[in-house]
Each structure stands twice: as structure tokens, then as C-alpha cells.
Chains A and B, each alone.
Chain A
Amino acid sequence: MNLSQAILGVNFGNPTVLASGIMGITSASWKLMAKHGAGGITTKSLWLKEHKGHKNPTIISTEHWTLNAVGVPDAGPEKAREEVGDFLKSHPVPLIANIIADSVDNFAATAEAILPLKPDFLEVNISCPNVEDEFGKPFACSAPAAAAVTKAVKKVSGKIPVFIKLSPNVDSIAAIADACASAGADGFTVINTVGPGMAIDLRSRMPILANKVGGLSGPGIKPIAVKCVADVYGVTKGKLPIIGTGGIYTGEDALEIMLAGASLVGIGTAVGDRGMEVFSKICEEMQLWCTNEGVDEISSLVGGMHRELASRSGPQKKNRTIPIL
């Protein structure tokens, strides 16, 4: 059973990818995630200049949900050069550099600062839900704004594929994805966190997160992620690769989001619950399921739900009979 795939010319040993923002600050932790089976890793969002995050509490959770408002802290490109440079010396798995900015021009400038480091993919974070006080609504909430960022980054990105990280917190993620695809996006990461949400301490009557609100993640958001991936795959007719992210905890979760259209599967919150070994555990679970079901190539499952629906809708329509009342 083969878990490996080539995505836009980059070889991934398995579909699991460390999602941005999790264990993503140093080369040492990226290497450790690769050692624990991650097929690829994504950096925490990189800024053009040093950017302070929010005060603690920044991450809280229960058995049902995780809320985070870390506020995208980053020390700037010099640190990125050091850490990414160190990782790419051994390059155990593909590296996806995630970038963030406060304006269309700065997205392009950040891309220009990071691209010389030669990441395998560039992931453009236009969808962080917990810096709204600072920057207003995310670019991912407007098709023209999302397209403008895509176009600006694509103008400078050369041969390095550009993935746009989309928000589920929109009326139509398909419309946003369609606009980005027309602007030249090479792929999508679907989805960023949901909400934002809020948690209040009863006794102090205070919101617990210092930022008051934060992005929702964890196993409960998986159905939203699966639906969003299906929408993006549908509108792009399966032509652009998708990194499906959101509530993926098990091998079966990973296979489900692949059937919706994801080629790669982002793993984030699950690291806190199943440990760093979550990558190898998910791979083992995928292997087991596929072997039992006679699936030889993991790539054969990508978008499988769409093909199944299409195959059923054709004959069913033809054979439809008028019920006799």
C-alpha cells in the first residue's frame, strides 16, 4: 500500500502535514515532527517584520474544543532564514513556508523575503481569525481581496507553488477559492480555524483568552473542514491540490477529508491530544484501512466522493421511474 504522492512536483512520503502554528517555531521541532512521521511540515506564519502576539492565555481547551488566539507572533525574516536554512540543510521532508501580512503589498514583500530560502511550497495565510482588532476582517472574507493577495504573491513567486489558506467563516468558500484560482493560485489549504469563539470564566465573569476571542479547532470542526474541502474541490474541478485541515485526529478522519478532495492532510490540534506520534499513528491507521479495503494507492482516494456521486447521479437519473401512486 503506497502512501506517497508527488504534489506539483514535490514528493511527500505520506499525506500528513504539520499544520501552521503548531510546533512550528524552530527547525529542531520541525525535524522532530518529521522523525515522528510527518510527511511535510508547515512553519508558523512568517512576517516581514517582528510581530508581537497576544498575552496569555492564548490557548485553552476542553475535550470538545480548542480555542486559540496566539496572535501570530514572529521574530521576523532573520530568524526565518536561520531556522528554515537549518531545516533545509537536511531537508527530511518538504517544507511549506506560511506567510502573513497586513496589506496586499506586504504579502508580496513577505513572499519576496521568504522565497530565496527555497521552501517547497508557499502557504499564504489570509484567514487568521484572531488579529481582527489589529487588521480588520481577514482578506479571505472577500473574493476581490483574496484574489488581489493571490495575484500579488504569484507575481513574485516564480516556480514555487502558492497555496492560499482559506477561512471557513464566509458565505461561500467556493466563490473565494474560484477568485483565487482565477488569480493564479496553485493550491489551497482548507481550512483555518472556525469562528472566532469565546469562553467566559464564571466566577470572574471575564473572557478567558486575553484576546477575548479565538479560532476554534479540534475534532468537532472536522465536518466543516470536510464540507469546505468538498466545495473548493468542486469549484476548481479537482485541478488544484488541497491541503485539508481541521479536526483531523485519526487515519479515518484523514481518509474522509481526502475523499472530499484533499491531497494532503494538515494535522494541528491533534498533536496536543495524541502526542507528537500522531503522524505515524495516522499513517498506520490509513495503511491498515487501505490494506483491508484493497486500496493500493492513497492518491486514488483523493476526491473519491465526487466521483462516486457523479457515477451514481448518471445512471440513477436514467433509470428513474415514476412512482405508481
Chain B
Amino acid sequence: MKQEHTPGKKTYRYGMVIDLDKCTGCGACMVGCMAENNLPFRKDNSDRLRSNLWMRVYKISNGRPFPDADISYIPRPCQHCEGRDHHHATPCVSVCPATATDYSHETGIVSQIYTRCFGCRYCMAACPYHVRVFNWWDPMWPKGMKKYLNPDVSVRMRGVVEKCSFCYHRLQRARNKAYAEGRRELHEDEYQTACTQACPAGAIIFGDLNNPEHKVHELKKSLHAFRLLEKLGTNTKVYYVSTRGWVRKAGKIYTGKKGSVTHP
């Protein structure tokens, strides 16, 4: 677990701003993510507690009767927590006993080394967002579908933990291209995650949170922006925007009270 970035090297903080008022809950981001990242699925993939979803869309409602009833969808990729200090580093990174997950201070991306993970699942226990999933089965695809796997993303074996990587392979590809063209900086549209591109409503905006030229830089400053479980100090890099007050409350911690935000 590196605590500091290389001195003199420019740092980026890749992150997302998701407009919940635009999200229709179509699930295209989930499908795009699965296809891009070679996520295995089973014939009956309805068991959400054991399915491999790096991006999951939650449906929430305000629990009020007609005509005040309202719903919202919350797409939830890995939040790529930065942590707040040395003792509160990225929750999953600091606990991994085999250094199989790392926080890059250069990109702000939390990575996972599948070939080093031995499946203790301590990182899953540490993550309050349930973004980490375990491979309960050997990865299998229907006949002929292996030909459609993404060659840039390694397939994970059973018994290891995996999670959203902000399509890190796309960053590598974009950097290679820029290097070949003699550039050091990437344009905003050169590195975009699969879920961002799959979203038909344009609800997911991705970019460098540090870069004033990127859309996310301004969007995260919106009065309607919030992050999930902000009080815990995980310091996430996924921001959500909603003009609806009750939706913004969904970012708070579980209180056990029924009524404010409920599942339909």
C-alpha cells in the first residue's frame, strides 16, 4: 500500500458524477460493464447476492402513497475511496493481507490484482458499498461466447475477489495511443468508462476531478451533489446529483427507520 505518489509526477483523480434525475434504471451501464470486463454470469443469474456485478443499479422509492410516490435509481460502481488519512486509508486496501489491492495516488483508482488475491474476502467485509464480489463459481460462458471476450481484460478464476476498475485497461490503451502520438496528456473523451458510454441518458459523466477542463470538475461542485456515506470519511470519487431532497438523503447512513427511503 503506497501512501505517497511519486514526487514531481502529475496526479489525476478520476471520478464520476452520476445524475440521478436523468437515470432511467435501464441497466445499460450494467450490461456495458459486463461485456467490457468479461464478467461471468450463470444461466440463472437472479441471485443478486452471488452474481458478479461491478456496476449495480439500485431502485429506491420515497415510500409515500400516490400522488406523492416517487422512485429513483442509483447506479453504484466502485466508489474508489481515497480515505482521509494514514489510519483511514481506502477501507479495502488497508485490510488486504496480501497486498492484492492498491490505491494509485497517481490516478486515484483502486486496483485489484486477481492473481495475487487468495480469496480471504476481508476487503469485502471492509467495503460498506458492497462493490466487491467474489467468484463463487468457475467463470463460464455459453458456447461460442468466449470469442467475444475482451482481450484487454483478464478473466478471473473462481475463489478470488473482483471489482470495478474504472475500466483501467482503457486508460492504459489511451495512454499508449497518446504516447505513440508524442503526447503526455489525454483528452477527456479519450478515456471513458464502458458504463459512461453505454448510458443512453447521459447520466454518467466521467473524467478527472482535478482537471478544470473536465465536466466532472464543475458538476461535483453542484449544490445538489452528494456522495454515499460521506460521514464515514471514505472520501469517495463517485458523486451523485439530484434535485430531489429525498434522493439526496439516500446518501446517508442506514438509520433503521422505515419510511424515508425504502425498497419497493
Partners in one complex: no
